[in-house]
Amino acid sequence: MKRLLFYLKPYKKEVVISPLFKFLEAIFDLLVPLVVKQIIDVGIANRDKPYIFGMCGVLVAFAVIGLICALIAQYFAARAAVGFSTGLRKDLFAHVQGFSYNETDRQGTSTLITRMTADVNQLQSGVNMTLRLFLRSPVVVLGAMIMAFTVNARSALIFAVVIPLLSVVVFTIMLKSVPIYQKVQKNLDRVTSVTRENLTGVRVIRAFRKEDEEVTRFHEANEDHNRIQNFVGKISALMNPLTLILVNLGIIVLLWSGAELVQLGDMTQGDVVAMINYMSQILVELVKFANTIILVNKALACAKRVEGVFEAPSGMETVANGQTGDDSNAVHFCNVSLTYQGHIEPSVTGINLAIPRGATVGVIGSTGSGKTSLVNLIPRFYDATEGCVLVNGRDVRSYSTEELRERIAVVPQKAILFRGTVRSNLLWGNPNATDEELWQALEDAQAKDFMQQKDGGLDAPVAQNGRNFSGGQRQRLTIARALVKKAEILILDDSSSALDYATDAALRQAIRNLPYHPTVFIISQRTASLQHADVILVLEDGEPVGVGTHSELLGTCEVYREIYESQFRKGGETV
């Protein structure tokens, strides 16, 4: 929690002013029973109407001043709480953006979403309530007990018994409920995960008519969340009745002893009313305090979860003295192996391959053979667990993330576009690109024809995830975005799978003719997409089983030949 308190530093003024005005409000509340006592013992006893009206005016003045104090306290508490959550959410998002793929996989997308939204909102509520009530309630409770002793010390002993008992109840329930609230938030992660999967895969679910099964799965996750939330709710719900019982028992004893003392002349009727008022104030404040503690418990549970995200390493460690090699090679895999976190078997193993600058490299293999895992090592989305990857003769770990990825353009398997316009998406590659450069990139990516037919041209709207474009159009736009960057290394990770053979061939021809001659990595299941590559790497179960040109591999690599013959008849005709 100490780390999160840093986000309240810019709001020191608000953190002081809000409790201060709540303290002033509490002082005026504590004075009310004394005024009522005077009205009864002096005004009513002497039938002094002017005195009664005068003291009623004092009560109204106290009420107005208390209201003003409450409003000021609420305003500054809200400013501090909202500012706290805004700064926290901003840094949390920035921290998550720096996660390596490994750390994102470990944390889980649904968990990160919950922690940046629901958990931070819960912390905001906790800060707000703490500033407003965490000081006021103890002040009123202790102040009421002190004021009771000034009224009548003998009767006030009841307060000395009731308040410790109430404290035991409150803190026992708090200690029991804190760990359970942590489980509640974990179950919320699961509900979020199921919901996200269903919304993302809604078309697949409907295509396979799995709606009922998914409803059942969501119902189970929701019921688990509901069950544990009800359980902790029942524990927390004990707070109010137990405090009510103790306070009302205190009032009963107070009335009984007060009646005797009034008969003996040791107390006045106004004293008894004042004592009951103070006991009632304690009741009200303890109920508020109990509810505040419940909210703070939830906030503390959420704080631990948010701190857990901050404690996860953001970014990847830079190595000062990494391995070096021949800088004439754009990329050099030096006995590279990769084992994902939590996995036993390596996904890629024993890769030794030097790629000269400007060469085109094809990577092919069956599904799950490690093709994407291998190229993800180049921009350092993952670090090799054995060996190293060199870019321009330098270990990728010796580059800063920005410097390394500035040299590389990646077109991932899944074509992702962002809401905005075509222009705003293409400018991700180069924010300073001219319209001429954007149109050239679209032409090279075989996207110019359909973009010229779009209303608005470069300013045509793009819906979320680019759903107003077809799969092939999205792929070509993501390729254009990468081409705008004019990077030294271009990685096409099965990025033309939705294109027909003619468009795919035209795309490859355009990439070969790029004037800046990038080093190109093409991952594809189509041998037709790779047969003109300078070198082709064939993977099987993460291991290299063939390296060479298309003609060489047809004669020496059985895996490649089987893939080729499954797509082409022996005469070279497409199957």
526-571 tens-digit pLDDT: 888 888 899 999 999 889 999 999 999 998 999 999 888 888 765 4
562: domain range?
Answer: 329-567
The answer on 359 and 301 residing in a single domain is no
| Single residue among 282, 311, 340 that ends a domain in this structure | 311
Q: For residues 490-528, b (16+ Cβ closer than 10 Å) or e, as one string?
A: bbbbbbbbbbeeebbbebbebbeeeeeebbbbbbbebbb
CATH number, domain containing residue 458: 3.40.50.300
Decide which of 311, 345, 367 is a domain's last residue: 311
β 519-523/535-540 pair status: unpaired
Tokens 């070279």, located at residue: 572
Instruction: Say if residue 44's pLDDT is above 90.
Output: no
What CATH number does residue 279 fall under?
1.20.1560.10
289-347, pLDDT tens digit by residue? 777 877 887 788 788 888 888 888 776 778 777 778 788 899 999 999 998 877 788 88
Do 160 and 75 lie in a common domain?
yes
The per-type count for the chain, helices as H runs and strands as E runs, is: 21, 12
pLDDT tens digit sequence for 225-239: 888 888 888 887 787
428 part of a folded domain: yes
Whether 457 shows a pLDDT value over 70: the answer reads: yes
Does any domain span residue 323? no
Tokens representing residue 238 in the block: 């004990």
User: 256 with 352, same domain?
Assistant: no
Name the domain count of the chain.
2
Residues 471 and 514 in one domain: yes
Q: Structure tokens of 195?
A: 């919901």
Q: Output the pLDDT for position 331.
A: 94
Q: What does DSSP assign to residue 540?
A: E
Do 392 and 330 form a contact (C-beta atoms < 8 A)?
yes
Asked if 522 and 382 sit in the same domain, the reply is yes
Q: Check whether residue 255 and residue 371 sit in a common domain.
A: no
Identify whether residues 300 and 361 lie together within a single domain.
no
130-147: pLDDT as tens digits: 888 877 888 888 888 888
pLDDT per position as a tens digit, 139-193: 888 888 888 888 888 887 887 888 788 778 877 877 777 678 778 877 877 888 8
Shared domain for 261 and 339, answered yes or no, is no
Which 8-state DSSP code applies to residue 266? S
